[in-house]
Amino acid sequence: MPKTEVILTHNIIGLGAESDQVKVAAGYARNYLFPQRLAIPLTMANKRQIESLRQRRAEREAHEFNTMSELAKGVAKLICVIKVKAGEDGKMFGSVTAGTIADELKHQFDITLDKRKIHLEHPIRALGDHEVELHLHAEVKGTLKVRVESLTPVIAPVAAAEPKKEEGREPRREKHGHAKRDTEDKKTEKTEAAEAKPKAEKAAKAEKTEKAAKAPKAPKAPKAEKKEKAE
């Protein structure tokens, strides 16, 4: 395929920037670059425009640097929430890609960002918070916090029960302890009752004796006169 050399008049990702001299397919230049005014043929007359193109390139890059630096500061404060379908166990159906994040940035914050500037080593396949690296400019990088949430409630796993062996030991010890204490309490009650009975009987006798001593004596009946006796 024949090649032709052109001078780029605009920044073309993957090809070059203003004032760059590059070789491209002749058909690509003739059918796309020249009609879109993205490049001009490399001629002695067109070489005179290289200096002005370089000046325009410097101004564009400075503007992009400032714009992307401000964008990096702004997105660092944002949380991009993405809703996905997931099972009750929290396992996602599908994944979150750079294109998904770019769409949500536009939808939620009206931020237009080329998905190629969103750097993901691999698609996100887990719920929760994720730090995503952004390559906004050759000299500017940023981070975006992405929160992936399920559209359906996720049931938390039930905590594992403790081993039955450990659970059974303590109650048995406690049972024997209670039985031993009950036996000792009964013995103490019997002893106290046995000691209290004689004391109670002794106190009752003393009280009876005291009452008898304090009671008034009945008067003696008068003796019959001897006279009557003789008759």
**3-72 has which fold?**
Ribosomal Protein L9; domain 1 (3.40.5)
Average pLDDT of the chain? 80
Say how far apart CA 51 and CA 47 lie, in whole Å: 8
Say how far apart CA 222 and CA 228 lie, in whole Å: 13
Say how far apart CA 80 and CA 68 lie, in whole Å: 18
Is it true that domain 74-150 has CATH number 3.10.430.100?
yes
For residue 48, the number of C-alpha atoms closer than 13 Å in the C-beta half-sphere is: 2
Say how far apart CA 40 and CA 25 lie, in whole Å: 14
The confidence band for 197, taking pLDDT boundaries of 50, 70 and 90, is low
**What pLDDT is attached to residue 229?**
44
70-72-77-78 Cα dihedral, nearest 10 degrees: 110
Give Dmax over CA atoms of the chain in angstroms. Answer: 193
Q: What is the pLDDT of residues 171-184, one digit of tens each?
A: 555 445 555 566 66
Cα-flanking dihedrals φ and ψ of residue 8, to 5°? Answer: -75, 135
* 10 contacts 38 by C-beta, under 8 angstroms: yes
pTM over 0.75: no
Tell me the one-letter amino acid at 158: V
Least confident of 40-54, 141-155, 217-231: 217-231
Say how far apart CA 98 and CA 118 lie, in whole Å: 6
**What pLDDT is attached to residue 151?**
87
- Residue spans per domain, the chain: 3-72, 74-150
